[in-house]
Structure formats: C-alpha cells, structure tokens
Structure 1
Amino acid sequence: MATTVYGQASLPQMHSLFSKVRPFLSHSPSFTAPFTRRRSFPFSALPTTKAIDAALMKEKWLDSLSLTSQDEDTTPENAESSCIIGIDPDLSGALALLKFDHLGSSSFAQVYDTPHIPVLVGKRVRKRLDAKSIVQLIQSLDVPSGSRVYIEQSNPFPKDGKQGWYSGGFGYGLWIGTLVASGFCVIPVSASLWKRHFQLASGSCTKDDSRRVAAELFPSLSSQLKRKKDHGRAEALLIAAYGEALKTEKLLIQPKELLSQVNYLENQLVEVK
C-alpha cells in the first residue's frame, strides 16, 4: 500500500459513508451548535436579552476562528470536490481528511497521526506537538482555503494534573492558531456532542468502541485502527464524519438563526402581554 511521508495510506476509498452515518442521525438527539451542551434552546432558563448576548458572543467567537465569513462558501465553482477535516488535538490524536465530490457519490479519507517531538521538562522527557511538522502536514493536504475544520474542544479533568492541563491547552491552542493562520474555518466541537451522535457517550463505551465504529464507517482504513493506541485516528475520523453530517443534514444552527428565533419569541411575549 502506498504511504505518505507521515506513514498513512494514500486516499483509500471510503465505503458508503453517508449510508452509514445517516442511521446514527435517526437515533441521535437533536443537536445545537458546537459549544452548546443543552438539547434545546435555553429560553426558559435565560431572559431573552441574555440569550441574545450569548448568541452574539458565540458568533464573535466563531468569527474569530476564521479569516473568512462563516456563511461564505469559498469553494471555487469549478472545484470537483469539497473537504472536511476532523482533529483530535491530543498528543495521541490525529488529523482526518474527508473529500467528497459535489454529488456525494464518491468519497475518500486519509488519517495522519499528530506530529510530536520529545522535550526535556525538568528531569523528565515529555512529548510536545511539533509545530513545524503540523504546518508542513497542513500545507501538504492541498485543501481549499476556507474549508471547515472540526476540532474537539479541550476540556481538562482535575485528575489530569498540571502537566496534562498544560499539554492539552498548549496543543489545542497551537492547532487553532495554525489552522486559522492557514485560512481554515475552525469549528470547536465538544466531545459529548460527537460521541452522542455515534452513540458512544454512555459510561460503558470505551476508546475501543470508537475504533470499532470508525472501522465500520471507514473499512478501507480498518488496518490503521487495529491497535489500542490508534484511538486518536478513530476519533479524528469520527469528528470529521460528524462535521460532514452537520453540514449535510443542516443540523448546525448558526447564531443568526438563533437570533431570529429569539426575536420571534420576543414578539410572541409582546402579543401575550
């Protein structure tokens, strides 16, 4: 099998991604925009002015993660394909690239391990992301400027310790800064959202389950998902597939849509009064 400089297979054929992703949609709860953990709009819990402020802040935050407008389609009219990138930003994570033609009839996938280097921290050698190699990896993808990148939000846990908190925040920030500077539209997604989408959010689910689901969606990449340490590859693929499902099924609610719904509710309240 032909490999790239990063040791990954070159553009293997995906196997009916849409036919396998869509069944999850019918069993998944409705989704709000990334960052939103509630399953429905929190109008009953928040005054409408606070809901508007929250929507505006989220819109400004998302705008700051892209050099192009979130609503602007930067794909050239004569382009033969569109791209979605999914990233697990951890040191053991990966970058997944999905390519689709305009008819959705053929799809390709690639996955790359996150480049990292050994660094001496005190008296211990630790891993840190290799910024230069990440830039080179992104440049080698040949992805149109303005393409969407879905990256898992960094949410450190108390048990991770200071080094875990530092490493997680450093990696997350490095990825976002590099992606925005490279001209991508970056959309952070909480782990609970994409895992719930693929029915992996229950306490009994493990990283092995992520590898299993990813292998089912991407059978041509199953050989790269066999080892336990390949969970980062699996999660990057699932994050990318989740992003494509949001785009295809129009489940991603934009802040402007939220504002229009807030305005509608305000008008309803005025009529009641």
Structure 2
Amino acid sequence: RGGKAKREIDRYELARLVDAHGPVAHAFVEQVGAMPGQGVTSMFQFGRSLGIVEGVLSAGFIPTDYVAPRKWRSGLGVRAGKDGSRARASALMPGHAGLWTRVKDDGRAEAALIALYGQRHLATGFGVTVAPVGPRKHGERQ
C-alpha cells in the first residue's frame, strides 16, 4: 500500500549477528509501548518485532534490561528530537559519528546511545539487575 516497502526483522540474520559478536554479556533494550494514534496493525507488527528481539536474546542466554527512553536520554544528556540524538551520539562517540550523519539515521544513533548507557551502568552497578544465567546447553558459550 502507498508504495512503502514493508520492513521486518530477519530473525535468522539477527541471531547470526548476535552470535557472531558473542559472547554477549548483557543487552539493553528500550522499554517501549504503543504510541497514541498508532494503528492496530502497526502496534501488532511493532510488538512482534520486539518479541523477535527478545526471543533471540533469550535463546542466547543473554541477560537483558529494559530502559525507559526518559531514563537513558536524561542519563546521557540527550536533547529531544532526531537531531538531539544524533548530535549527542556524535559528541559522546566521535569515532563513530559517520554512522548517523543522515536525519534518518537517528535510530542508529539512539541504539548506540542505549548501548553506551548500558555499558556505563553495568560498569557502576547503578540501577541494573543482572539476572543469573542458567546452565548452557546446545551451542554453549562462556
């Protein structure tokens, strides 16, 4: 409809990427919810995508914390808007600024900021509960 390409998460590729960068000690995922005015189909697809991410992380026995946008944004001093995320990511990670030069790269900048927020909080132990990982089975990694 409307000439827009349907964007979906390739769960197999996501699993391959996570596995290739392993072992992953911890993941931080933005705590999301439905947005006002969002259609039912869009909300369902968004929830499905989140479920794929959670499934891949769970299958890899990767402890995961969810962080509210307000918390990570204020914790890193990120101004509102797409430009605010890109500008702050560039200031905090200048060596990677080329990854979010376009306005439409704001999601990539925000993902990097959430990762940085998580890294800082794991290092300090502040506000993070690390769930113990049970015994590993098939494809075990330490």
Same fold (TM over 0.5): yes
Q: 2 CA distance for matches of 1:196 and 1:167? A: 28
For the structure 1 residues 253 and 230, does the alpha-carbon distance in structure 2 shift closer, same or farther, using more than 3 Å as the test?
closer
Partner of 1:235: 110
Structure in which a larger fraction of residues adopt strand: 1
Q: 2 CA distance for matches of 1:193 and 1:169? A: 21
Partner of 2:52: 174
Partner of 1:208: 83
Does structure 2 conserve the Cα–Cα contact (< 8 Å) formed by 1:153 and 1:172? Answer: no
Query: Which of 159, 162, 174 is 2:40 aligned to?
Result: 162
For the structure 1 residues 154 and 178, does the alpha-carbon distance in structure 2 shift closer, same or farther, using more than 3 Å as the test?
same
Count of paired positions = 129
Asked if residue 192 in structure 1 is aligned to residue 70 in structure 2, the reply is: yes
Structure in which a larger fraction of residues adopt helix: 2
Does structure 2 conserve the Cα–Cα contact (< 8 Å) formed by 1:214 and 1:237? Answer: yes
Aligned pairs for 1:26-105 (under 5 A) are none
Query: Which of 152, 172, 186 is 2:30 aligned to?
Result: 152
Q: 2 CA distance for matches of 1:126 and 1:219? A: 32
Question: Whose Rg is larger?
Answer: 1
**Structure 2: any 5+ residue segments left out of the alignment?**
131-142
Partner of 1:127: 7
- 1:248 partner amino acid: A
Identity within the alignment, %: 26
For the structure 1 residues 254 and 149, does the alpha-carbon distance in structure 2 shift closer, same or farther, using more than 3 Å as the test?
closer
Does structure 2 conserve the Cα–Cα contact (< 8 Å) formed by 1:148 and 1:184? Answer: yes
Partner of 2:100: 225
For the structure 1 residues 185 and 254, does the alpha-carbon distance in structure 2 shift closer, same or farther, using more than 3 Å as the test?
closer
For the structure 1 residues 148 and 158, does the alpha-carbon distance in structure 2 shift closer, same or farther, using more than 3 Å as the test?
same
Name the stretch that deviates more: 246-255 or 159-168. 246-255
Does structure 2 conserve the Cα–Cα contact (< 8 Å) formed by 1:154 and 1:169? Answer: no
Partner of 2:138: none
Q: 2 CA distance for matches of 1:124 and 1:218? A: 33
Aligned partner of residue 128 in structure 1, secondary structure? coil
Q: 1 CA distance for matches of 2:43 and 2:76? A: 27
- 1:233 partner amino acid: R
Computed over aligned residues only, the root mean square deviation of the Cα atoms, in angstroms, reads: 2.2
Q: 1 CA distance for matches of 2:41 and 2:78? A: 27
- 1:137 partner amino acid: L
For the structure 1 residues 250 and 165, does the alpha-carbon distance in structure 2 shift closer, same or farther, using more than 3 Å as the test?
same
- 1:235 partner amino acid: E
Q: How big is each residue's C-alpha offset from its partner over 1:111-168, in whole Å with a ceiling of 9 and x where there is no partner?
A: xxxxxxxxxx8x9752111111111111111324xx1100011211121211221122
Partner of 1:244: 119
For the structure 1 residues 127 and 214, does the alpha-carbon distance in structure 2 shift closer, same or farther, using more than 3 Å as the test?
same
Q: How big is each residue's C-alpha offset from its partner over 1:14-61, in whole Å with a ceiling of 9 and x where there is no partner?
A: xxxxxxxxxxxxxxxxxxxxxxxxxxxxxxxxxxxxxxxxxxxxxxxx
The offset of 1:192, in angstroms, is 1.4
TM-score computed with the length of structure 1 as normaliser: 0.44
Q: Deviation above 6 Å: which 4+ runs of structure 1?
A: none
